[in-house]
Structure 1
């Protein structure tokens, strides 16, 4: 599946570079689409990523780790919470900086320092997605396809927010950094030795980040969302996962 993984990674890079050129004709189709995508993403998280945590918790429990880590109950799940807290913190810093600049300096975007922090955080996020591609998909072609569909739409949702927040800083630098990051993560996985324990930690942290970012970036406001589209996306991905897993 090495060649398949290359195509998926190149596809992810193309998505990052060209997301800001995607134009929706009006707000209504956009919100219907975002509801559809968020439903599919949530199905993937709770029917694939979260169940994997049970396995990864066993990996962590059986590993030879420092005593203080072994004393932590459900350590893999704790790392998932760390992922949620980490990305929530980055989002809060960005929003507070944006509000400060808007009121004091008449700017519509956060400071360049915050931009650097947020892009660095999402570069790490993308590296994990690239790194875990082959491990989470295994030797199943359909699994690679679902991985590509779900995370491509997830990238589009995240990238649109980053573009709207950081404007030309994202266009000139951010999107290229994110595109390279997902490739770098994949390259590290393919060229270095890994272990099931490393995959367990990375996957747990990524799961937390995915959950937070879906809730934060993909779900439209209640009055603008489409319940039918949300359920449709959820059912579609859920059925695909049932067929391949």
Structure 2
């Protein structure tokens, strides 16, 4: 699966680089599309990523860890919460910086330091997605395809928000950093040693990040969202997962 996983990673990189050129995302039907995407993403998280937390918790319990970690109940679930808190914190800093700049300097963008922090956070996020591709997808090509479809739409949603928030900074720097980070994550998995514990903790943290970012970036506002499209996406991915899991 080495070469097939490489193809998926390269495709992810193209998604990051060329999201800005997908013109239909600027039209009103995008709300129906994003509702469909968010439904599919949530189905993938709760039917594939979240159930794996039980397995990852067993891995953590069987590993030799420092006593203070062993004393923690449900350490993988705590890391999922940490993932939610990490990306929620970045989002809050971003919103506050943007509001301050609008109020004091009549600028529509957050500060450069917040841009750097947000790109760092999403670079880490993308690296984890690249790193975990092979382990989560296993040996089944349909699993790789669903992984690609779900996270491609997820990337597109995140990228559009980053582009609208940071404008030229994202276009000139951010998208290239994010494209490279997913490739770096894949390289680290392929050419460095890993362990079941690393996979468990990385997956738990990523799951928290995915949940938060779906709720933040993929669900359209209530007045623009399409409930039928959301349910269609949720059912579509749920049915696919039933066939391959």
Who is 1:37 aligned against?
37
1:181-232 CA-partner distances (Å, limit 9, x unpaired) = 0000000000011000000010000000000000000000111100100000
Distance 1:94 1:164 in 2: 13
Who is 2:105 aligned against?
105
Distance 2:27 2:170 in 1: 23
Who is 2:211 aligned against?
211
Who is 1:147 aligned against?
147
Distance 2:236 2:14 in 1: 24
Distance 1:51 1:221 in 2: 28
SS of equivalent residue, structure 1 residue 108: coil
Q: What is the CA-CA distance between 1:120 and the residue it aligns to?
A: 0.3
Who is 1:234 aligned against?
234
> Size of the alignment, in residue pairs?
245
Who is 2:166 aligned against?
166
Distance 1:63 1:73 in 2: 14
1:63-116 CA-partner distances (Å, limit 9, x unpaired) = 100111111111100000000000000000000000000110111000000000
Who is 1:78 aligned against?
78
Who is 2:156 aligned against?
156
Moved more, 26-35 or 54-63: 26-35
Who is 1:114 aligned against?
114
| Structure 1: runs of 5 or more not aligned | none
SS of equivalent residue, structure 1 residue 222: coil
The two structures, once aligned, show a CA RMSD in angstroms of 0.8
Distance 1:114 1:224 in 2: 28
| Structure 1 length-normalised TM | 0.99
Distance 1:28 1:45 in 2: 27
Going from structure 1 to structure 2, the CA distance change for 1:7 and 1:70 (only over 3 Å counts) comes to same
| Structure 2 length-normalised TM | 0.99
SS of equivalent residue, structure 2 residue 231: helix
Distance 2:108 2:189 in 1: 38
Moved more, 129-138 or 17-26: 17-26
Distance 2:45 2:23 in 1: 27
Distance 1:15 1:151 in 2: 10
- After TM superposition, the structure 1 = structure 2 runs for residues 17-32 of structure 1, keeping only pairs within 5 Å, are 17-24=17-24, 27-32=27-32
Distance 1:10 1:231 in 2: 30
Distance 1:134 1:145 in 2: 12
Distance 2:153 2:33 in 1: 10
Who is 1:195 aligned against?
195
